[in-house]
Amino acid sequence: MDKLKKTQILSDSAQFDLCDSKNKSKKSEVNLPGIYPATGANGCTIPLFKTLLTNKCNNDCKYCINCSKRNFTRLELSPRELSKVFLNYYNKAYVNGLFLSSGVNHSIDETMENLIDTCNILRKDYGYQDYIHLKIIPGASKDQIKRAMELADRVSINIEAASASGLAELSSTKDYNKDILKRLKWIDKIAKRDKTLCPSGATTQLIVGANNETDDEILKRMESIYKKTDLRRTYFSEFIPINGTELEKNNECNLKRTNQLYHADALLNDYHFKTKEMAFDENGNLSLNEDPKILAAKKMEIFPIEINKANYHDLIRVPGIGTKSARRIINIRRKKPFNNIDDLKRLGVVTNRAEPYIKLEGSYQNSLDNY
């Protein structure tokens, strides 16, 4: 089998590993396997080469395309082979970086060494200095994690579920607390000891809809992790039943659910909301149709707030006011109070969302009862 065909199979096997919440359905303009258009922090599209070293895997994850019990074509590339394939893409400007993961073949230690060797070959043999996102295998040693972080711009380890019992529904080969949460803490401690390592930080991924965990349970887990670590963000992968897996007859997760979790997760991570501020239905899930921030605001007794007096904590709880616009409001009102809603609009406030929740110089902008 030639390298292009291998690359196609391995990149298809990596399709459920996420590093972008916005471009799941967006295809690359270059018709080659493994090119994944990711969105950068400034909103621009960055093409990455996303692949596995091998789709051979000892793990029995019931939802996974690479599950050990599934019958399909298994293969691998050596670290040297994968490096050459990637550099061919990179030197032709098809991609700007690498997203590298792997199934667990033979042992966790051997798999991690192969991932690290690939990065070493690129960095030290070929002088490649651009972006690498490297997946940490659950159960990897502390030394391997540190060496991976010395080579990668970003690392990630998938927590997969919100609890040990939730993961047990999906896999019998991973220990949630030992193999995943403990390793996540190690990543955080290593990064804090040496701030030159892994400059783009760490992320994680969670499968939504493969077990019976609620949005409330998922978000409480993420709230706990954000409090204890400097995790940059969480990716939510909606469960899709795959032929040949134990969950092939289960229902597919509604894409709206993961979209709402992304919105709610941003409130936790960027706005420092607490899960108790959010609104869940009687089953512990978010509404599929209404913005989590608006539903949270309707629960709060602080509204409407006076724009010229409210503190930062309250301002960022107003629908339509983000962290940047809240800081701008505070800086500007020190010199001159706001008395016109158009002034807020010019700062980036989405005023049609914010109006029911604010006052300007004591005047209501619109009654909440009208919404």
The string of pLDDT tens digits covering residues 42-76 is 667 889 999 999 999 999 999 999 999 999 999 99
Q: Report the pLDDT value the prediction gives residue 321, as an integer from 0 to 100.
A: 97
Q: Report the pLDDT value the prediction gives residue 15, as an integer from 0 to 100.
A: 82
Q: Taking residues 230-245, what's their average pLDDT? A: 95
**Cα 3 to Cα 8: distance, rounded to the nearest angstrom:** 9
Q: Taking residues 152-168, what's their average pLDDT? A: 97
From 22-36, 50-64, 164-178, 330-344, the region with the lowest mean pLDDT:
22-36
Q: What are phi and psi of 269, to 5 degrees?
A: -85, -45
Peptide bond into 304 cis (omega under 30): yes
**Cα 315 to Cα 329: distance, rounded to the nearest angstrom:** 9
Residue ranges per domain, the chain?
3-203, 300-370
Measuring CA to CA, how many Å separate 218 from each of 209, 214, 221, 235, 291?
11, 6, 5, 12, 18
H helices then E strands: how many in the chain?
A: 13, 10
Mapping DSSP to helix (H, G, I), strand (E, B) and coil, where does residue 22 land?
A: coil
Q: Report the pLDDT value the prediction gives residue 368, as an integer from 0 to 100.
A: 46
pLDDT digits (tens, 9 = 90+) for 68-104: 999 999 999 999 999 999 999 999 999 999 999 999 9
Q: Report the pLDDT value the prediction gives residue 369, as an integer from 0 to 100.
A: 44
pTM beyond 0.75, yes or no: yes
From 29-38, 261-270, 295-304, the region with the lowest mean pLDDT:
29-38
Q: Report the pLDDT value the prediction gives residue 366, as an integer from 0 to 100.
A: 58
Q: Report the pLDDT value the prediction gives residue 38, as an integer from 0 to 100.
A: 83
Report the chain's terminal Cα–Cα distance, integer Å. Answer: 61
Fold of 300-370: DNA polymerase; domain 1 (1.10.150)
Q: Taking residues 270-279, what's their average pLDDT? A: 96
Q: Taking residues 173-195, what's their average pLDDT? A: 97
**N residues, the chain:** 371
Sheet holding 202-208, edge to edge: 35-39, 45-52, 97-101, 131-135, 154-156, 202-208, 233-238
What are the structure tokens assigned to 128, written together?
A: 């490649």
**Cα 77 to Cα 204: distance, rounded to the nearest angstrom:** 25
From 4-13, 117-126, 188-197, 200-209, the region with the lowest mean pLDDT:
4-13
Mapping DSSP to helix (H, G, I), strand (E, B) and coil, where does residue 160 land?
A: strand
Please report which confidence band the pLDDT of residue 37 belongs to, taking 50, 70 and 90 as the band edges. confident
What are the structure tokens assigned to 351, written together?
A: 């005023």
CATH superfamily of the 3-203 domain: Aldolase class I (3.20.20.70)
Q: Could you tell me if 108 and 173 are in contact, meaning their C-beta atoms sit under 8 angstroms apart? A: no
Is it the case that residue 370 has pLDDT exceeding 50? no
